[in-house]
């Protein structure tokens, strides 16, 4: 009988210690710093018959057995969201003025062949002339390399 009382007191003390431990675990500080959290999940699109009774009797949901995934991005602070996506807002987007490399003036046009902006017709003609000269140099270099390769191949065969 005496041993039973000691065990009960010990059990009570142990349970109180365990409760204190649980309270300490619950008291963890949650960080309030801005965070971006992502979570991804795979979703199996299986036919769901529970919605068929809500819909029109003649309409049946088409069975789909495909799998897809979804990724959710959540921001803990709105300021973090605004900073991240500020470039998408047209009000914050700064349009960079392209300058013509020939005249130095703001370019109004863009040459798709040379991938260069230009301001005037004269600048366009100069850009195209430079481009054609570079292409000629490249062809000459390529032909020289091909000739050198042929010479090497002939020397190997001899």
pLDDT of residue 95: 57
Rounded distance between C-alpha atoms, residue 121 and residue 129, angstroms:
12
Q: What is the CATH number of the domain that holds 126?
A: 3.30.60
In a domain, residue 20? The reply is no
Which of 95, 128, 146 marks a domain boundary? Answer: 95
Mean pLDDT over 124-129 rounds to 94
| CB-CB contact of 73 with 35 (8 Å) | no
In sequence order, what are the residues at sequence separation of 6 or more whose Cβ sits closer than 8 angstroms to the Cβ of residue 25? none
In sequence order, what are the residues at sequence separation of 6 or more whose Cβ sits closer than 8 angstroms to the Cβ of residue 121? none
Rounded distance between C-alpha atoms, residue 149 and residue 104, angstroms:
43
The pTM is what?
Answer: 0.36
> Between 119 and 61, where is the model more confident?
119
Mean pLDDT over 74-101 rounds to 73
How many domains, the chain? 2
Distance, C-alpha 146 to centroid of its chain: 43
DSSP category for residue 153 = H
| Residue 92 confidence class, pLDDT cut points 50, 70, 90 | very low
Long-range contacts of 117-120 (CB under 8 A, 24+ apart): none
In a domain, residue 148? The reply is yes
**Is the predicted pLDDT of residue 111 greater than 90, yes or no?**
yes
Domain residues for the domain of 48 are 33-95
Which of 45, 72, 95 marks a domain boundary? Answer: 95
Which of 95, 115, 140 marks a domain boundary? Answer: 95
**Is the predicted pLDDT of residue 80 greater than 50, yes or no?**
yes
């Amino acid at each position: 009988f005496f041993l039973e009382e000691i065990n009960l007191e010990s059990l009570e003390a142990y349970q109180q210690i365990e409760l204190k431990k649980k309270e300490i675990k619950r008291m963890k500080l949650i960080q309030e710093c801005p965070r971006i959290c992502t979570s991804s999940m795979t979703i199996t699109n299986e036919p769901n018959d529970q919605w068929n009774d809500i819909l029109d009797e003649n309409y049946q949901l088409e069975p789909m057995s495909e799998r897809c995934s979804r990724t959710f991005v959540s921001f803990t602070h709105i300021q973090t969201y605004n900073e991240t996506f500020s470039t998408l807002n047209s009000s914050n987007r700064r349009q960079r003025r392209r300058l013509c490399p020939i005249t130095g003036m703001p370019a109004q046009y863009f040459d798709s062949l040379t991938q260069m902006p230009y301001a005037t017709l004269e600048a366009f003609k100069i850009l195209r002339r430079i481009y054609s000269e570079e292409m000629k140099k490249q062809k000459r270099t390529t032909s020289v390399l091909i000739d050198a390769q042929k010479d090497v191949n002939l020397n190997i065969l001899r």
